[in-house]
Amino acid sequence: MALVDLLDAFASNEPVPGGGSAAALAGALGASLLIMVAGLPKTRTGAPEEAADLAEASARLRPLRDSLLELVDDDSRAYQKVLEAMRRPKGTDAEREARRGAIEGAMQGATRVPLETMRFCQQALRGATAVATDGNRHASTDTGTAVELLVAALHSAGMNVDVNLKSVSDEAFVERVTAERAELAADADADAARARELLRT
């Protein structure tokens, strides 16, 4: 859809698209900026190895950008499934049991989507360090903006993981996701700090 239509969709009082979709979109924007800087004809010093490293970074970033863009819609679909599960009938014991199972499955699905957003943002931030190292210095603000967008996207997605986990009863799933969520956030913050440092030098 056109950008203004997308913004209107976010601004509407409909439940979707919401914060999870916005997080994925911010991540896709950040990755796109990194791809742009990596593709500029001038690198930091003009050394051939810098161009090669940037080309490699761009090749890794492009599928991450595409995956994050897909997650914009995936998050909305996941939330719709939660709403559908909650609307299931609960007049009999069998219906209530089926409803509980449907809600559990939908909430796990709604948790996996922002966790995926975190994964792709963390990988993109790893690529940001390469772009910050070898990218054109005149585009440092573009790289810096990309880093901040990806950090915001990752932490925003993390909030969605946290709130959805509160409605999941599978303890093994909660434990596994909680551990990965913490690891992704720590790795991403470290990569972002490294990229910021490189941009200052």
Spatial neighbors of 60 by CB under 8 A, at least 6 apart, are: 123, 127
What is the percent of the chain where pLDDT is above 70?
A: 100
Amino acid sitting at position 168: V
Segment 91-118, tens digit of pLDDT: 999 999 999 999 999 999 999 999 999 9
Nearest to residue 168, comparing CAs of 82, 83, 90, 84?
82
Domains of the chain (ranges plus CATH)? 16-200 (1.20.120.680)
d(CA 122, CA 157): 11
Contacting residues for 93 by C-beta, under 8 A, at least 6 apart: none
**For residue 27, what are the contacts with CB-CB under 8 A and spacing of at least 6?**
68, 71, 117, 120, 121, 124, 149, 150, 153, 154, 157
- For residue 68, name the pLDDT band (cuts at 50, 70, 90): very high
pTM equals: 0.94
Question: What local confidence, expressed as pLDDT, does residue 2 receive?
Answer: 86
Asked whether the beta carbons of 106 and 99 are under 8 A apart, the reply is: no
CB 34 within 8 A of CB 61: yes
Q: What is the Cα–Cα distance from 33 to 119, expressed in whole angstroms?
A: 18
Q: Is the pLDDT of residue 90 over 90?
A: yes
pLDDT digits (tens, 9 = 90+) for 19-56: 999 999 999 999 999 999 999 999 999 999 999 999 99
Residue 27 and residue 149 in contact, taking contact as beta carbons nearer than 8 Å:
yes
Asked if pLDDT for residue 191 goes beyond 80, the answer is yes
**Amino acid identity for residue 139 in this structure:** A
Residue 1 has pLDDT above 80, yes or no: no
Q: Residue 201: is its pLDDT beyond 90?
A: no
Helix crossing, 48-86 with 19-38: angle to 10°?
170
pLDDT tens for 129-188 read 999 999 999 999 999 999 999 999 999 999 999 999 999 999 999 999 999 999 999 999
User: CA-to-CA distance for 113 and 71, rounded, in angstroms?
Assistant: 7
